[in-house]
Amino acid sequence: MSDKVLLLEKSEAISKNIFLTLQENNYEVLSTNSTTEGLNILSEYDIRLIIADMNINSGRIIYFTNELRSDDKYSLIPILMLTDNIGKNSWKQLKGIKDWIIKPFSADKLLNTVERLSI
């Protein structure tokens, strides 16, 4: 059984690249561009890692991460934040972020980080 990863990404192109990279490396990826749908996915599946775009849903990621960290059921799921150079310091405001990657990034960088963070 492969680890399930929740991907929250606003860019369809980036989402597709991440999806394919992880899928080719035996991860099951559930993808959305909505934090609300992300919460629904979390309630239905055993998610082992969350990869989230810092700018998804016009900043709703702050509420999303805070909600996860206040819920015992989701509080230990690692979160990998994707950001651009402009947002690289903003992610520190978010609760429970385990690591971040600046866009653009290589498939190797993504895979190494995902493997390190997966629970």
**CATH code assigned to 4-117:** 3.40.50.2300
Q: Where are the domains of the chain?
A: 4-117
Question: Cα separation of 61 and 23, whole Å?
Answer: 24
**Which pTM value belongs to this model?**
0.91
Q: How confident is the model at residue 91 (pLDDT cuts 50, 70, 90)?
A: low
Residue 66 has what pLDDT? 87
Specify the 3-state DSSP secondary structure of 7. strand
Question: Cα separation of 64 and 4, whole Å?
Answer: 19
For the record, the structure tokens of 19 come out as 């999806």
**Stretch (H or E) spanning 30:** strand 28-32
For the record, the structure tokens of 53 come out as 């775009």
15, 31 Cβ separation under 8 angstroms: yes
Q: In what order do the strands lie in the sheet with 47-53?
A: 28-32, 4-8, 47-53, 79-83, 97-102
Closest CA to 11 of 27, 29, 31: 31
Question: Cα separation of 16 and 1, whole Å?
Answer: 22
The tens digit of pLDDT for each residue in 42-56 reads 999 999 999 999 888
Question: Cα separation of 31 and 6, whole Å?
Answer: 6
